[in-house]
Each structure stands twice: as structure tokens, then as C-alpha cells.
Amino acid sequence: MLNKRQQFGKESESIAVRHLKKNGYKILEQNYHNKLGEIDIIAKDKDTLVFVEVKARKSGLFGNPKWAITPKKQRKISMVALYYLKASKQHNVKARFDVVSIVTAEKNPYIEIVKNAFELAYV
């Protein structure tokens, strides 16, 4: 059984998936795990493979959730993405990192897709 935080995360990822699809993304994987960590969503946007991190908050009190992706988190996502590319033998594919930021304070959540939110970070 999921606790409230986990349930909020799951609902936020569902909102993100719907929004990405509405914006032309094709969802390939959700909650991709490997020995290095997890990526929330892996999708295709036209000819580009996109690794998507979902960040959500119940209010804007602490700022936009997109700013919560620290350099440490970027490195972690980057390492998981590199592992995914190697494991799936996708060596010469265009790829990027997007963030879906969600603030659910209102009845209609504020959703923003930040394309190319950060560069590959592995050092």
C-alpha cells in the first residue's frame, strides 16, 4: 500500500504522462530502474529520445518544482540514462533531458515541460 507521498508521486507521474502525450511525446517506459537508479519516464519526441524527470509540489510556496533538480540528481539521472543507452544498444541516438514541473495547488494543475532542462552530467 502506498503512503500519501508515494500516492502523490504516482498521480503526478500520471498527469505528466497525459501531458507529454498531448504534446506529441510517445511514452516508451515509466519508472525505468537499473542498478544505478531510476528515470521517471523515457519517451520519444519526434526523432529524439527523452529522459524525463517529474517534479511536483502541492503549492508554489517553496518555488517552482523544476528548480529542485540538484546537480547531484542530474548526475544520477545522467548515469542511469547512459546505462539505458548502452543496455539498449542505442549508441548514436539524439537524446536530451526534460523536466515536467507540476504545481497542483489549483483545481487545474499548472504543468510545464522544460525541454533540455540540463546537460549530461557524469563527473
CA distance 56 to 13: 9
| Domains of the chain and CATH, by start | 4-118 (3.40.1350.10)
Element (H, E) at 107: none
CA distance 97 to 120: 8
Element (H, E) at 83: helix 71-87
The tens digit of pLDDT for each residue in 71-105 reads 999 999 999 999 999 999 998 899 999 999 999 87
Confidence at residue 60, expressed as pLDDT on a 0 to 100 scale? 63
Using a pLDDT cut of 90, give the percent of the chain over it: 67
Question: What pLDDT band is residue 120 in, cutting at 50, 70 and 90?
Answer: confident
The tens digit of pLDDT for each residue in 22-47 reads 999 999 999 999 999 999 999 999 99
Confidence at residue 114, expressed as pLDDT on a 0 to 100 scale? 95
Quick check: 109 and 102 in contact, CB under 8 A? yes
Quick check: 81 and 95 in contact, CB under 8 A? yes
φ/ψ of residue 76, rounded to 5 = -60, -50
Please tell me the pTM assigned to this model: 0.91
| DSSP-assigned letter for residue 92 | S
